[in-house]
Amino acid sequence: MFGGRSIQVARVFGVRIGVDVSWFFVFFLVIYLMSQNYRQIFPGQETKAFVLAVVSAILFFLSILLHELGHALTAKRLGIGIASIDLWLFGGIAKMERDTRSAGEEFKVAAAGPAVTLIIAAVCFGVASLISGVDAAARGTALEDSGVSGTVAVLGWLALVNISLLLFNLIPGFPLDGGRIARAIAWWRTGDRTKATRFAARLGRGFSLLMIVAGLLIAFVLGDLFGGIWLVVIGFFLGSAARQSEHQNEVQSRIEGIRVSDVMDAEPVAISTELSLDRAFDEFFLRYGWPWFPVVDHEGRLKGVVAADSVESVPEQVRPTRTVASVMAADSGGSGLRVDFHEPLEALLGREGLQRLGAIMAVDAEGVLRGVVTADQVRQALRPVGP
Ligand SMILES: [Zn+2]
């Protein structure tokens, strides 16, 4: 959903704040639209309109950032690490290092962002009212050209935009905040996170369809082309995010509770480090026809992997005098070739050995080879069950 890396603009409470290139589009669009607007409120004051528009865009950016910080800092308080906050075309996203572990946690993290947005809207409206009365503040919110000051106009717009953000975020479709709140409630009621996520993601797909249909109506029936298309695009992104979350959820639920030891071949064929290369060639490579074998010492501890190429590169007449240990790719733990056989299957995903060799050696705490997991076995375990 988020192509490419964002540009880091700040670090707040140790959290990396980044902006995606698409975000600049929104930033300049806000400046453009708001200068038009302020020009109507303050006729003939081009510079003032432009300055107010820039201030508005910056405060809008800060509003979204504070919303995301609300999620992030709540997560942090619950012991969930925050990788980064990224702002892009449709707002912000706080990337958590792990999923929440209970419905209560999920609810607190999900609700914190909208709560911050509500507070910002209330503060903006409150300050505008203090400056020039509730009536003027309301006129600022309505973006009317009826003699409000620049500050009140900006605060009024900010209150309005934050209320809109709040309403949008509370749409109960995952992965929007409202959808996460819906997931938390379903999770709390059923005690089943997988089912709750599936339910909330389906709501997300439903609302995405509604937005697309409403957007098309707004664009082609009501004639607001820009607003309509914008809604269609947002609906489209919500739908694809919901589908993606649903898919991740299914994969996660399938592999939950599965350990490396459940899928590995528990009787791996391994070669001893001390075996001579001629015997290794005849008794293993010729006999089994496999491209490589794990290599173990006399206590069965994994020492490395030996490939057919490496044996074949040694001239035939010297093979009886050389051992497997002399040509193997040694492994003492850091090369990504091994995994503890008690680990969850999830730990295997993205392992280097799985991509390079097509397999990973499963070892116990003493480093003894207990099995081999191939990429095929992992794929098999991830495959959906049923017809
Ligand atoms: Zn949020």
Residue-wise pLDDT tens digits, 64-78 = 999 999 999 999 999
For residues 45 and 149, membership in a common domain is answered with yes
For residues 210 and 276, membership in a common domain is answered with no
The rounded Å distance from CA 26 to ligand 1 centre is 18
**pLDDT of the residue at 3:** 46
For residues 195 and 94, membership in a common domain is answered with yes
Nearest to 55 by CA among 37, 22, 31, 88: 31
**pLDDT of the residue at 142:** 67
For residues 240 and 346, membership in a common domain is answered with no
The rounded Å distance from CA 104 to ligand 1 centre is 16
- 215 is a domain residue: yes
pLDDT digits (tens, 9 = 90+) for 316-352: 899 999 999 999 988 876 667 888 888 887 777 666 6
pLDDT digits (tens, 9 = 90+) for 203-219: 999 999 999 999 999 99
Asked if pLDDT for residue 5 goes beyond 70, the answer is no
- Using CA atoms, how far residue 155 sits from 38, 55, 135, 163, 208, in Å, is 13, 10, 13, 12, 31
For residues 205 and 267, membership in a common domain is answered with no
Asked if pLDDT for residue 386 goes beyond 50, the answer is no
The rounded Å distance from CA 2 to ligand 1 centre is 16
Q: Which of 30-39, 110-119, 207-216 has the lowest mean pLDDT?
A: 30-39
The rounded Å distance from CA 110 to ligand 1 centre is 7
Domain stop point among 255, 281, 315:
255
Q: Say which residues have a Cβ less than 8 Å from residue 2's Cβ, sequence separation at least 6.
A: 20, 86, 88, 93
The rounded Å distance from CA 192 to ligand 1 centre is 23
For residues 316 and 192, membership in a common domain is answered with no
Alpha-carbon gap, residue 59 to 57, rounded angstroms:
6
Provide mean pLDDT across the span 43-53: 88
For residues 217 and 320, membership in a common domain is answered with no
For residues 189 and 296, membership in a common domain is answered with no
**359: enclosing H helix or E strand:** strand 359-363
Provide mean pLDDT across the span 99-109: 90
The rounded Å distance from CA 103 to ligand 1 centre is 17
- 2 is a domain residue: no
For residues 313 and 333, membership in a common domain is answered with yes
Asked if pLDDT for residue 22 goes beyond 90, the answer is no
For residues 212 and 276, membership in a common domain is answered with no
- 387 is a domain residue: no
Confidence of residue 271 (pLDDT cuts 50, 70, 90): very high
The rounded Å distance from CA 3 to ligand 1 centre is 20
Provide mean pLDDT across the span 152-165: 90
pLDDT digits (tens, 9 = 90+) for 230-264: 889 989 988 998 998 888 888 777 777 788 888 88
Torsion on CA atoms 72, 74, 76, 79, rounded to nearest 10: -140
Number of neighbouring beta carbons within 10 Å of residue 43: 10
Domain stop point among 194, 226, 255:
255
Token pair in block for residue 189: 């009621």
The rounded Å distance from CA 273 to ligand 1 centre is 56
- 305 is a domain residue: yes
Q: Which residues pair with 323 in a beta bridge?
A: 276
For residues 177 and 302, membership in a common domain is answered with no
User: What's the total number of domains in the chain?
Assistant: 2
The rounded Å distance from CA 177 to ligand 1 centre is 5
**pLDDT of the residue at 95:** 80
Number of neighbouring beta carbons within 10 Å of residue 302: 24
Q: What is the CATH number of the domain that holds 358?
A: 3.10.580.10
Contact (Cβ atoms closer than 8 angstroms) between residue 57 and residue 34: yes
- 1 is a domain residue: no
Provide mean pLDDT across the span 132-136: 78
| Average pLDDT score, the chain | 86
Confidence of residue 2 (pLDDT cuts 50, 70, 90): very low
Provide mean pLDDT across the span 356-365: 85
Domain stop point among 232, 255, 278:
255
- Domain range for 283 is 260-382
For residues 213 and 276, membership in a common domain is answered with no
pTM summary value:
0.69
